[in-house]
Structure 1
Amino acid sequence: MDHVFWPGVVSVFVMYGLIFGVGVWASRGRTTGTGSEEGTLDELMLAGRSLPLWLGLLSMTATWVGGGYINGTVEATYSMGLLWGLQAPIGYSLSLILGGLFFARFMRKNEYATLIDPLEIRFGKGLGLAFTGVAVLSELIWSAAILVALGSTFATVVGLDFQTSLIVSAIVAVGYTITGGLWSVAWTDAVQLTLLVVGLGLAVPYAVGSSGGTEGVLRGMAELTRDVSGGHEVVSYGDWLLLLILGGVPWNVYFQRVLATPSPDTAARLSIGGGFLCMAMAVPALILGFSAQATTWGALANDPAGLAAFGGQEGVVALLQENPSMVLPMQLRLAVPGLIGVIGLGAVAAAVMSSVDSSILSATSMAAWNGFKRVLRPHTTMPEMVRLMRLLIVGIGAVATVIALVVPSVKALWYLCGDVVYVLLFPALVLALWDGKANRVGMASGLLVSAILRLGGGEPSLAVPPFLPYPEWTDGGMVAFPFRTVAMVAGLVVAMVVSRATASVDPPVPLSALSEKR
């Protein structure tokens, strides 16, 4: 786009400068191995397991709400209504609460370093390495998808070149992550969440006013609100909701914060509290979605030049119909006063960074710890591991950036990774922690069944058509039957049955092994 919104560009780069400065400041005085043999991997990966509750809460919330949560909730509310707008907030919030009730305390008590540790203990290094690959790839593609969304927003609304904005964002995230690890990430998360709250808090009243005030918001709500219609749609909605709730647990980016707390009780409180904060952050997003529906874009006078650049009322409506993910950036550009919009755009961009840096550090931690030290080179010293971590942060950040630049369907791959985590990693984690009779043969059998049943529903991003005779419920050419949940449950059951049938030839590793010092 020829029209570059320079105030927005300046705001974004000021926010980036602030975030980078905070990240570097947070690393000062922390023992991360720089120039010293005293550095420990715990400091870089887990903040020395001394992350205070308040900082952990802000970091957990920022990681969840920054990477498309706010933008996605506004988009879903604007395009489909309240029930769909609430799907992600409910799913993510319940996922964090569920994790706090059933997983966080146990994981922290046993002082694991990553999500993969208990899986490796129970099912061996071979399956552990496979789980590491799945988890690292999922985090990598998540980072790439967030970078794509960020770059697309800049290109469409701010007018900044897509490649430039994406590369700069990645460099900033990698830059402060490499200096201080989780300490830098957590402190920048806190600042990013604060900026997001301030930015949205300033923008919401003006956005509501631009839509006709409270009456406009209520009118937008009335126009958009509809119930889930038909049994097929109810089941499909429930399938996706379960994916968000249960599939949101087995992510290392979540457990990294849980494992960084000083005690098991703090870990549980952190997770449960984060769930409630995530739900609270959905409120402004829902209001913005309804107000956007009631806004007459052509009547706005905050940025006449910007409005003209988008083609006036018809151009904005056409753009949002084609790409509803632009609703929030468009509101911040056109529906609020210039200064407020500039602050809001910078805050949203900075908030998105909180998910990019967290995901890069999470993937690096698993690759270095579970892939390299636990399997390939067990005798690696701590200073060597710290150096490896720093190299991997750069490498994984670079790979995520390349994927974002060259892969045309990163968002589709992101959805697929969410499926894989739900279908494969969730049952594995449940069995590893709670089923004393689960063994390697059973787990491998369950994974195979789950993978076949999941692919049987088709996957457009891999050009795989549906090949299993699921009921012919379709939604835009895709199978609407809840095959994801069927695949997850079937794999769980098969793993339990086969484990018990093969216990004599493959004795299970007892649950007591999970608590042994390694």
Structure 2
Amino acid sequence: MQTIHVAILAVYLLAMLGVALYFARSGRLRGGDDFLFAGRSLPRPVMVATMLVTWVGSGTIIGGANFAYTYGPIAGLVFFLGTPLGILVLLLAARRIRRASRHTIPELLEVRFGTGVRTVAAVVTALAYVGLVASQFIGGGYVVSLITPLSATQGTILVAVVVTLLTVTGGLFSVAYTDFFSAILIVLGLFVSLPLVFATIGGPAAYWEGLPEQSTTFTGGLTALQLLGYFLPLFLLLLADQNIYQRLTAAKDEREARSSTLGMLFSSFLVFVPVVLLASAAAILMPGINGDMSILGLASEGHLPAVLGGLILAGAVAFVITTGSSFMLSAASNIAYDLYARWAGEVGQRRALVVQRLSVLGIAVVAFGLGLFFPTVLELQMYSYTIYGAAITPVVFAVLFWKRATTAGAVAALVAGAATTIGWQVAGAPGDLNGVIVALPAALIALVVASLVTKAPEETAEAVEPAEPAGSAEA
């Protein structure tokens, strides 16, 4: 533990809480839509930053770093390749998504498939997002335990409290603006660290020669099917990530949504490329450590100057907190708009705000408990990505691009994708394959077969272009 690391972390946490309190007292949160969409007033730089940092949390700086540490830089780049490829697909669909302008993904599905599908999708989404919140809590606990005398569990509790306070006070306003400053902090820290770490090793040639032999191969020692099992969850989640869709809805207009997506595409390379190189370099400098700690170890074990190491560690906490806040906020919207509103009937803006804030508190408790079940961030990350990507993504794309899909097909895909993912996890992941390898085909087959054996929808007009934007009336 170094005093300067503690000081940098303390200053950062206080600054984040200050931003949250500012927006809580600013009077901008007049209802549930403001809490979720920040009044659709975010400027482009903030939009790009919040989309980027929402996506790259502990799953990148800890889970993804673990993968690159274990399997090498080439396999690490394949692992992260799902991000730019997924963004390219979103770029093509950004205007269509912005026109949909719904509170949640399940609400979008209801327009085409009915209330039952919305309810099932809301439960699946909440399950996945609570798992992703849990991964952020665990990742943050790792970092805090490196910087302070707190244990990993105590650090997890601290991070859970900060994430919850940040989310419940300012909604997307506080999340987006802390994302902006966090993005600057972590990108700067990663790029300054890279030449220093390579200099310690002896340069690029020494770096490549120092890697374990299997880490210089394309698959890093994995089979092609195993590597695909790591690539697909990230790619599938991004294609229909409710967080990203809500950010696009929070844009001022369709043009802003598209340009922000393009900005996210370019800025993503500024994060995952240095993460892969630093994590694989850590395998040379610190062989045999827990891969989750690869980049964090470079910062905390004296391989970087103390101030820079403190910035990296604070940046890691920044990623964890802001990503955790985003997934928590998104899951709360499922509870408020997809589940509570179904039971309570029409819910006004003020009531929606209260329900979302109470949901945030409940999500924090459940996520902390779930985090105790999974030993590493990477395992929890893969489970959560898969349960969402395999179940939700095929149905969302059926809404956007396949008019023949039916309600029966949507329900079958949701149930098959989620049940197969959970069953595969309970069975212990046979063959060391991630669940997406079986869950995605199961969901796609269920969607197509059930749709084709049931009556085609009578209404084939686009159901994703509402007459007026969501939020123009009481939710």
TM-score (norm 1): 0.82
The one-letter code matched in structure 2 to 1:100 is: L
- The secondary structure found in structure 2 opposite 1:379 is coil
Matched with 1:502 is 455
Distance 1:485 1:159, change over 3 A: same
Instruction: Answer yes or no: is the 8 Å Cα contact 1:454–1:487 preserved in 2.
Output: no
- Give 2:313's aligned amino acid: L
51, 59, 64: which one pairs with 2:50?
59
Q: Find 1:486's aligned residue among 422, 437, 441.
A: 441
Q: SS in structure 1 opposite 2:347?
A: coil
Distance (whole Å) between structure 1 residues aligned to residue 270 and residue 192 of structure 2? 16
Deviation at 1:157, TM superposition (A): 6.5
- Among residues 77, 95, 98, which one is paired with 2:86 in the alignment? 95
Kindly provide the amino acid, as one letter, of the partner of residue 399 in structure 1: V
Q: Report what 2:333 is aligned to.
A: 365
Task: Please list the CA deviations of residues 275-308 of structure 1 after superposition, one character each: whole Å capped at 9, or x if unmatched.
Answer: 221123122223313432333xxxxxxxxxxxxx
Decide whether aligned partners of structure 1 residues 127 and 182 sit closer, same or farther in structure 2, where only a CA change above 3 A counts: same
Q: Does 1:200 align with 2:190?
A: yes
In structure 2, what is the equivalent of residue 18 of structure 1? 15
For 1:243, the equivalent position in structure 2 comes to 233
- RMSD, aligned CA: 2.7
Any idea what SS the aligned residue of 1:31 has? Answer: coil
Q: 1:432 to 1:383 in 2, by over 3 A?
A: same
Measured after TM superposition, the shift of residue 43 of structure 1 is 1.0
Bigger mean CA deviation after superposition, 395-404 or 247-256? 395-404
One-letter amino acid of the counterpart of residue 18, structure 2? G
- Equivalent AA in structure 2 for residue 271 of structure 1: T
* Deviation, structure 1 residue 42: 1.7
Is the 2:108–2:464 contact (alpha carbons within 8 Å) kept by the matching residues of 1?
Answer: yes
Which of 442, 461, 464 is matched with 1:514 structurally?
Answer: 464
Q: CA deviation at 1:488?
A: 3.6
Establish whether residue 378 from structure 1 lines up as the match of residue 342 from structure 2. no
Measured after TM superposition, the shift of residue 152 of structure 1 is 2.7
> Any idea what the Cα deviations from partners look like across 1:462-506, whole Å, max 9, x if unmatched?
24676xxxxxxx34xx589932442243133224313xx334xxx
Aligned counterpart, 1:77: 68
Partners in 2 of 1:192 and 1:379 — Cα distance? 37
**1:41 CA displacement:** 2.0
The aligned counterpart of 1:123 is 113
Query: Given the alignment, which residue of 370, 373, 393 partners 2:360?
Result: 393
Contact persistence 2:233–2:436 (CA under 8 A): no
CA distance in 1, matches of 2:120, 2:100: 22
Which residue is equivalent to 2:294? 327
Q: 1:199, CA displacement in angstroms?
A: 2.3
Deviation readout 1:223-268 (Å, 9 max, x if unpaired): 53113389x9224423442332233222211111111001122212
1:117-196 matches, cutoff 5 A: 117-155=107-145, 158-196=148-186
Give deviations 1:53-97, integer Å, cap 9, x for gaps.
Answer: 221101111111223213344332322112221123211121122
Does the 8 A contact of 1:47 with 1:182 survive in 2?
Answer: yes
Q: Is the 8 A contact 1:58 1:190 kept in 2?
A: yes
Secondary structure of 2:243's counterpart equals helix
CA contact 1:439–1:509 (8 Å) conserved in 2: no
Report the 3-state secondary structure (helix = DSSP H, G, I; strand = E; otherwise coil) of the residue aligned with 2:81. helix
- 2:69–2:280 contact (8 Å) kept in structure 1: yes
**How much does 1:330 deviate?**
1.1
Name which one, 1 or 2, has greater alpha-carbon Rg.
1
Whole-angstrom CA distance in 2 between matches of 1:121 and 1:424:
18
Query: Could you tell me which of 247, 251, 263 is aligned with 1:257?
Result: 247
Identify which of structures 1 and 2 has the higher relative contact order when contacts are C-alpha pairs closer than 8 Å and 6+ apart: 2
> 1:444 corresponds to which letter in structure 2?
V
Alignment of 1:222-241 (within 5 A): 223=213, 224-228=215-219, 233-241=223-231
Change (3 A) 1:222 1:493: same
The verdict on how the C-alpha distance between 1:445 and 1:170 changes in structure 2, with shifts beyond 3 A counting, is closer
TM-score of the two chains, using structure 2 as the length reference: 0.89
Gaps of 5+ in 2: 471-475
Once the two structures are superposed, residues 178-224 of structure 1 have per-residue CA deviations (whole angstroms, 9 ceiling, x without a partner) of: 22211110000011111112322333332222222344334345853
Give 1:342's match in structure 2, choosing from 280, 296, 310.
Answer: 310
Percent identity, please.
Answer: 25
Residue among 44, 59, 67 paired with 1:68: 59
Q: Distance in 2 between matches of 1:389 and 1:444?
A: 26
Kindly indicate whether residue 95 of structure 2 is the aligned counterpart of residue 105 of structure 1.
yes
The count of residues paired between Structure 1 and Structure 2 equals 465
